[in-house]
Every structure is written in C-alpha cells, then in structure tokens.
Amino acid sequence: MGEVDPAFIQALEHRPKPYSISAETIPIIDLTPLQQLPPSAPSGLVSEIGEACRDWGFFQAINHGVPSKCRREIESASRKFFALPKEEKRKVGRDEENPFGYYDGEHTKNVRDWKEVFDFAVLDPVVFPASHDPDDVEVKELFNKWPESLPELREACEEHIKAMEKLAFKLLELICLSLGLSKDRLNGFFNDQTSRVRLNYYPPCPAPHLTLGVGRHKDTGVLTILAQDDDVAGLEVKRKTDGEWILVKPSPDAYIINVGDIIQVWSNDKYESVEHRVVVNSDKERFSIPYFLYPSHYTWVEPLEELVKEQNPARFKRYNWGKFRATRNRGNLRKLDVENIQISHFRI
C-alpha cells in the first residue's frame, strides 16, 4: 500500500483508538464427535454450540475435519496473489456490475480500511438480483474472476469451498438442534446459495493506532467460518456482557465461527449477531480467509414459525435476502453517505 498519505492520517485522527482486553477469549469447541463413523451430535456438543451462540455469537472450532493440506494450499495461493504487481491484481478487479474480484479501496473518496481483498462466489455463476430496486424482478448471472498468471489460486479456492461447505452444514445442523429444531430445518434455504469467500490481506501499517483493518460491523449472512493466521492476531469481538473488545488469540488449525444477522432473525433474537473488527500492526502483515454462508437470493428472511409464540412474538418483519444484499453491495461499492441497510431497519 506504499507510504501513508498525510491527508489519510489527518482523516483518521477522529477514529476510535483500537483497544482490547485479552484476559478472556471466545469458547473453543471440539468437533471430534462429528468426525466419527457414524457421526454423532451428542447433547453435550449441541449444548456447547447453543451456549456459545447465545453468550458470545462466536466460538473457535477444533478437530473440525478440514484437511490441513487444503488450508495450507489456499493460504499459500492467497499470499502469492497479493504479492503480484498491483496492475496484475487490478486485471481481476471488481466493479459496480460484478462485486467479485480484487479490491483495494484506493479509488474511493472515503477513508478506507487498511486491507486488500479478493472475493469469489461459491457457485460459479451465481444468480443474483439485477438491481436493489424491490420492483425489479430481473436476475443476472455473476461470474468469478481469476488471474491467468496464477492458475493455482482457482484450484486452491475451489478445494477450499468444498471443505467449507461440508463444515458449514454440519455447524448449521448443530445450531438447529440447539434451537430445538430438526437438524435439516434450514437446508432448503440453500438450493441456489449465494455464499462467497474473501481473501484478506492486511499489510503492515505505519500508524496502527489510527486505523483498523476492518471497522466495527456485524455479518449480514447466516454463518461465517474464518481461517486466520496462526501467529498474528487481529480479530476483536465485542463482548456481550460489558461491550469490551476481546482480542481472539489464534489457536493452531482452528476455525473461528460466528453467527450472522440471518441466524439472529431466524432465531427471533435468541442468538445475536455480534459486532467485531480487525486491528493492524506496524511490523507484521496478516492474512485471513472468511467463508460467508448465504441463502438463495429469493429467500424471504423472517423469524422461524417454530420459535414464535404468543409470549415471544416475532421481532422482525420479513425481508428479501437478494434485495437486501444488492442494496448492501450498492452502498459498499458507491460509498454512499448514508447508513447502510441493517436488520435493525426491519425490527418490529
């Protein structure tokens, strides 16, 4: 990213200073029972998942069954991609027509997060609404963009997708059971899923106390599965009990899981999507790879009928996922000077 522009530093002066309290960390859950034959979901594991989703919205999964080779290969390919010359990466840059590809934020008018990213969809092509306009029923196919000079990136990413899908749906089953639902209750929402993966690169920052790798936010989807550096921490989670920021210490070979806004709506607020952010440092680069589980674009998101009762009425109005995401993409790409769409806008 080169030298820090003085104007950039000045613009960051009023941003909240990153801080963290790391005496406590998010729960670590052992998924060994899921790897046994036949796989099982003992009540203890289901309870652990439920408690972590309720109390933290986050947990780390170990013994998850994802081959270490798969993770090593996508991490290696990611490092090679971000090491390419800027002009090579921009050949697969994202645009207003297609949100997939490379992005570094240098051409936006607003202060950007201190990172570079590369996005790709799980389905290729993926079907998505043609616009954010609720009256527009047209859809379009969006295709992934891959650098010709680095064919191993596509190969590693496609293997990563297979492993993440398998893990994501195992976790979804556990979450369903923890809510008192049948384990396959949510599977029908993903027939034409719009899930995506992001490669993140956070370069060393000369002024880490003035910026963030990613500002505070909540994830809009169902689940996020994050692979982060084993030796460079950066993710901070907002603790629900007191609002303090907790630095998530890396656990070797673990994946960090968090529930997104859609789980919060489906569960009628039982499991909350929690704010998190990423801090940077002055001497170390950091890489991470989040997998975002998203439903089909035509999904209407609303509290599940099994979890709505007279004494616990629905807390959200239904909304269309594809239009929600299209509106969000439009705001992200154009950097509009308005609040981006949130599930709070649909709260009853």
Of 297, 87, 266, 86, nearest to 185 by C-alpha is 266
Question: What are the 10-residue block averages of pLDDT along the chain, 348 residues in total?
Answer: 48 46 79 86 94 98 96 97 96 92 69 86 96 91 97 98 98 98 97 98 88 90 95 93 92 95 98 95 92 98 97 97 90 59 94
Which letter, b or e, does each residue of 182-213 get, where b requires 16 or more Cβ atoms within 10 Å of its Cβ?
A: ebebbeebbeebbbbbbbbbbbebeebebbbb
Contacts of 339 (CB under 8 A, 6+ apart): none
- How far apart are alpha carbons 171 and 29 in whole angstroms? 11
Q: Read off the tokens for 267.
A: 């569960």
- Cis-peptide into 38, omega within 30 deg: yes
- At 285 the pLDDT is 93
Residues, the chain: 348
Considering the entire predicted model, what is its pTM? 0.91
Q: Which strand ranges, in their side-by-side order, compose the sheet holding 276-278? A: 214-217, 276-278, 235-238, 245-247
Partners of 102 in beta bridges:
93, 118
- At 8 the pLDDT is 45
Contacts of 39 (CB under 8 A, 6+ apart): 33, 170
pLDDT digits (tens, 9 = 90+) for 120-130: 999 999 999 99
CATH topology of domain 6-346: Jelly Rolls (2.60.120)
- How far apart are alpha carbons 179 and 136 in whole angstroms? 35
The single-letter DSSP state of residue 344 is G
Single-letter residue type at 215: G
Partners of 198 in beta bridges:
119
- At 305 the pLDDT is 97
- At 82 the pLDDT is 98
- How far apart are alpha carbons 54 and 42 in whole angstroms? 19
Contacts of 348 (CB under 8 A, 6+ apart): 313, 314, 315, 316, 317
Residue 333 sits at φ, ψ, to 5 deg, of -75, -40
- Enumerate the domain spans of the chain: 6-346
Beta strand spans in the chain (E): 28-30, 58-62, 101-103, 116-121, 126-129, 139-142, 196-202, 214-217, 223-228, 235-238, 245-247, 255-259, 276-278, 286-293, 300-301, 319-320
- How far apart are alpha carbons 65 and 35 in whole angstroms? 6
- How far apart are alpha carbons 237 and 216 in whole angstroms? 9
- At 35 the pLDDT is 87
- How far apart are alpha carbons 186 and 40 in whole angstroms? 19
Give the Å distances, CA to CA, from 252 to 231, 238, 319. Answer: 8, 22, 38
Residue reference for tokens 């981006």: 340
Q: Read off the tokens for 209.
A: 């106390």
Q: What 3-state DSSP class applies to 3?
A: coil
Torsion sign over Cα 36, 42, 46, 48: negative
Single-letter residue type at 191: N
Q: Read off the tokens for 14.
A: 């009023």
- How far apart are alpha carbons 40 and 253 in whole angstroms? 22
Single-letter residue type at 56: W
